Amino acid sequence: MWTDEQLLAQGWTQAQIEQYRIEQVIQETPKEVGLNETIPGGGQHVDRSQSTASKSGLTSLFANKTQTVLVVCMLVLFPLSMYSTLFAEGPQGPQGDAGEQGENGTTGSSFALVLSAGDLPPCDESIQNQIFFIADEAGFNVCQNNTWSSISLTGPQGTPGQDGTDGAAGQDGVNGTDGQDGADGAAGQDGENGSDGQDGADGAAGQDGADGENGLTSLIVSSTEPSGSNCANGGTRVETGIDDDGNGVLSPTEVDAGVFVCNGETGADGADGANGSSTTTMMVASLSVAPSYLGCNGTGQLLKQGLDDGSGNGFAQNGVLESGEVLMTSLICTTFAVDQVQDVNAGTGSSNPAEFVTLNSMLYFTTTSPSGVWSLDVNDTLTSIYSGFASSLGSVGSLLMFTGSDATNGIEPWVYDPSTGTAGIVSDINPGTSGSFAGGYTLLGTTAYFAARDGAGNFDLWAYEHANTSTWKVDDGVNPQELVAVGSHLYYSTPTELRMWNTTSNTAYDIEIMPGILGSSPSDLVVRGTRIYLAANDGSGGGIELQAYETTNNSTWQVADPRPGAATSFPSDFAFIGSRIYMHATDGTDFELWAYDSTNNSVWEVADINPGTGHSRPADLTVHQNTVYFSADDGSSGKELWAYNAINGTTWQVIDLHPSGGNIGDIHLHEGNVYFAGDDGVDGTEVWRLIFSRTVTVV
């Protein structure tokens, strides 16, 4: 028999040697198991006459046991037999010498079957390592260390085999025969009638009828009715009639009806209210215009404060500050500073800003060097919105219109839309490069009216509708100069008369301020409510004077004649504060600032700024609060910025911008500030403004 050392020398492993020794023992000394051997610990018997113990110590079972037991036994025996087969595949060693008969080994582990766990025998040394199958649990228990424990003798599941390939598809069966057709269904109900067909095309339009005759205009005239039989307390006479002769004036023979609107009687005075109450320690105050000797350039105010205690023979607790009660008087003085806003033409050159216009809190103006239209926002940001020749800038609703030019169309009307930031030509009214030289843009409703020529020589009244960008001629060959809108009608001056375009009848006619064939030469049209103020000659022998036209009753009259007699006073540049009209005019001596007050029909020279026979020629009169600002020449400092306060009647030079010769022009009120074109002798003529501030001084 080979020794272990010899087998190791042949390359055997220790595990192979141990397996080999076990197999030798099994082959040489098999154990025979007799029949009817008793299972330890139970009364059950099995027939073992046809089986031997396996090399793992498990025994076979009777063939007549239940199928469940046989299956379990097979599950146990199969892995045990695999164990033997696995280790039987070791390398074949050399044939050894026959060994001597060894001693019989101890009894191996037996495999026993019981019906339930209650049938298990006591676990002690006599059945150490014995395995029992419990039938009603279909499981195994082993006795080890005096304790029964459940064990599993089932090996791991093997890897599933691969699916077999699909068999070949069978042949299609033969098609069956078609079934018979079904019987026809019952007839359905009739559908509803269809809708009518489309109308045929319209026939050809008939010929236009002959134009009817123009209708006559109905006029209404109102006048003051004095106290009398018609109205005891006075009132208003309202007369209506047809303008039979078409002259726009309701003559006495044309009056068809009249009515008196009488004033009511003056009501009785109401009862006096109860006196208010205060305390002797209550502070009361009064605010009044400061006298001119205190200075402040006519804009000063006096604030007086005191206790309502009746001091100085006053009345205590009456709520009124009396002279003896005044404890403190303060002079509130508005001062001015001048600031250059923008130097458009940087350096000493002049941009010559003019035609200032305010639209949506933005200031717009034109310049000549460089030529174009500019905008100035609240942050003093300067932006060019159009480059090229520009004049006659004006606002028309939400748009700007001006006269612009390009190489193709010449000088024509242009429009700028701030919402899109785009500017473009309105129409080439005078085709080619000759230009129409349009101007005087005035809005009435949604239509802008202006003067322009189309090549025939004279200027005509034109219209532009922004909604559809259409342009058309309104009044031919009348040379319109200044345009204003009152109510639903347009009024404009011509070289001869004031003229109206009636948008209701689409007709135009003259308003004869000077009756007859001679013209009144109207100019400087200014609208106040329903009334138009203008300079014109009414033919009364006084020349060109301040006139008024009331649009509601078609009446005209002379307002003021600063130069009585046959000579003219040439009034212009009208500005309004309350009941007063301020103007440039002459009494025959010089041209100065004049005023007219409608409360007493008085007229007077406000100030002789250039004393003697010199002319100060005030221009661009602009009102801010109670002050009129204007340009004037005092004969020594040139054309500078001046002001007149209507409260205390003081006149003063606001600033001497260029001491050796000023050049102020185009004054404009914008967002509470006074803007103007000015030359300081350094930067040329650029955009300037007044800065207002207040000081308080105890006097």
Using alpha carbons, list the distances in angstroms from residue 441 to 438, 445, 466. Answer: 8, 13, 13
The bridge status of strand 555-560 relative to strand 470-475 is unpaired
**pLDDT digit string, tens, across residues 569-599:** 999 999 999 999 999 999 999 999 999 999 9
The verdict on 116 and 56 lying in the same domain is yes
Higher pLDDT among residues 62 and 113, named by residue: 113
13 found inside a domain: yes
Q: Are strands 572-577 and 410-417 parallel, antiparallel or unpaired?
A: unpaired
Please check whether residues 17 and 35 belong to one and the same domain: no
- Segment 323-352 mean pLDDT: 88
Domain assignment present for residue 193? The answer is no
Instruction: Tell which wins on pLDDT, 42 or 224.
Output: 224
Residue 474: the pLDDT is 96
Whether residue 37 sits in one domain with residue 139: yes
Per-residue pLDDT, 61: 37
Cα gap 334→296, rounded to integer Å: 6
Q: Report pLDDT for 101.
A: 66
**Average of per-residue pLDDT across 141-164:** 81
Share of the chain above pLDDT 90, in %: 45
Tell me 644's DSSP state: E
Region 79-93: what's the mean pLDDT?
A: 46
Per-residue pLDDT at 524 exceeds 80: yes
Residue 484 lies in a domain: no
Q: Are 495 and 507 in contact (CB under 8 A)?
A: no
542-573 confidence digits (pLDDT tens): 899 999 999 999 999 999 999 998 899 999 99
- Whether 354 is in a domain gets the answer no
Does the residue 344 lie in any domain?
Answer: no
* Position 139 in a domain: yes
More confident residue, 157 or 353: 353
Read off the pLDDT band of 78 (50, 70, 90). Answer: very low
User: 450: burial class by Cβ within 10 Å (0-12, 13-18, 19+)?
Assistant: buried
Of 54 and 230, more confident: 230
Segment 231-282, tens digit of pLDDT: 888 888 888 888 887 777 777 788 888 888 898 877 777 777 665 556 777 8
Is the same domain home to 145 and 44? yes
> How does pLDDT run across 33-52, given as a tens digit for each residue?
343 434 344 444 434 344 33
**Residue 98 token pair:** 């026959």
What is the C-alpha separation between 502 and 515, in angstroms, rounded?
21
pLDDT digits (tens, 9 = 90+) for 677-695: 999 999 999 999 998 777 8
DSSP string, 572-594: EEEEEETTEEEEEEESSS-EEEE
Q: Per-residue confidence at 325, pLDDT binned at 50, 70, 90?
A: confident
Same domain, 54 and 123: yes
- Closest to 498 measured CA to CA, from 518, 479, 526, 520: 520
Q: Within this chain, do residues 132 and 237 fall inside the same structural domain, yes or no?
A: no
* Same domain assignment for residues 19 and 50: no
Query: What integer best gives the mean pLDDT of the chain?
Result: 83
Name the band, by pLDDT with cuts 50, 70 and 90, for residue 73.
Answer: very low
**Residue 387, pLDDT above cutoff 60:** yes
Checking if the pLDDT of 668 tops 90, the result is yes
Work out the number of other CB atoms within 10 angstroms of the CB of residue 583: 26
Whether the full predicted model's pTM is greater than 0.75, yes or no, is no
Amino acid 136: pLDDT: 83
More confident residue, 155 or 142: 142
Enclosing H/E stretch for 525: strand 523-528
Q: Mean pLDDT over residues 454-483, rounded? A: 93
Closest CA to 424 of 368, 370, 371, 386: 386
How many domains are there within the chain?
3
Report d(CA 413, CA 27) in Å as an integer.
131
Q: Are residues 87 and 2 in the same domain?
A: no
- Between the alpha carbon of residue 33 and those of residues 51, 54, 110, 452, the distances in Å are 8, 11, 11, 142
| Claim to verify: residue 1 and residue 67 sit in the same structural domain | no
Q: Which residues pair with 475 in a beta bridge?
A: 461
Cβ pair 364, 373 in contact under 8 A: yes
Supply the DSSP symbol for 281. T
C-alpha span between 220 and 222 (Å, rounded): 7
Rounded to whole angstroms, the Cα distance separating 166 from 169 reads 9
pLDDT (average), residues 56-60: 38
Model confidence at 58, pLDDT cuts 50, 70, 90, reads very low
* pLDDT above 70 coverage of the chain, percent: 85
Which tens digit of pLDDT belongs to each residue from 611-634?
988 899 999 999 998 899 999 999
Instruction: State whether 79 and 137 are in the same domain.
Output: yes
What pLDDT sits at residue 183?
A: 82
10 and 42 together in one domain = no
> 1 is in which domain, residue-wise?
1-25
Domain membership of residue 142 (yes or no) is yes
The alpha-helical segments, DSSP class H, found in 340-442 are none
Q: Is residue 11 domain-shared with residue 48, that is, in the same domain?
A: no
The CA-atom distances, in angstroms, between 699 and each of 98, 101, 303, 327, 520 are: 151, 151, 10, 11, 55
